[in-house]
Amino acid sequence: MRIARGLAPVIMTCLILSACVTAQPPATTQPRDGLAYEIVSSLTTEVGARLAGTEKEAEARAWAVARMKALGFRNVREEAFTFPGWQRQYEAVSLVLPSSQRLVATALGGSVSTPRGGLKADVVLVESHDALLKAPEGSFRGKIVYVNDRMVRARDGSGYGPAVRKRVRGAVEAARRGAVGVLIRSAGTSHHRFAHTGNMRYDEKVKKIPAAALSGPDADQLERLLKAGGRVGVHMDIRTTLDPKALSGNVIAELPGTEKPEEIVLMSAHLDSWDKGTGAIDDGAGVAMAIASALRAAGPALKPKRTIRVVLYGAEEFGAQGGEDYVKRRPDEVKLHRLAAEADFGAGAPWRFDTNVPASDLAFHEELFAAIAPLGIERGKLETSGGADISPLQKLGVPVIAVGQDGTHYFDLHHTDNDTLDKIDPAALELNVEAYARVIARVANR
Tens digit of each residue's pLDDT (9 = 90 or more) over 55-67: 999 999 999 999 9
Task: Determine how many CB atoms are found less than 10 A away from the CB of residue 41.
Answer: 18
The predicted pLDDT at position 2 comes to 34
Q: What is the mean pLDDT of the chain?
A: 92
CA distance 209 to 183: 11
Domains and CATH numbers, the chain: 10-84+244-444 (3.40.630.10), 99-231 (3.50.30.30)
Ranges of residues in the chain whose predicted pLDDT is under 50? 1-31
pTM equals 0.91
Q: What is the largest CA-CA distance in the chain?
A: 74
How many CA atoms lie within 13 Å of 415's alpha carbon, on the beta-carbon side? Answer: 24
Give the CA count within 13 Å in the CB-facing half-sphere of 362.
6
The contacts of residue 401 (CB under 8 Å, 6+ apart) are 339, 340, 341, 353, 354, 355, 356, 357, 368, 384, 386, 439
Task: Give the DSSP letter of residue 204.
Answer: T
Number of other CB atoms surrounding residue 338 within 10 Å: 17
Residue 278 in contact with residue 284, Cβ under 8 Å?
yes
Q: What is the pLDDT of residue 32?
A: 57
Residue 360, pLDDT score: 85
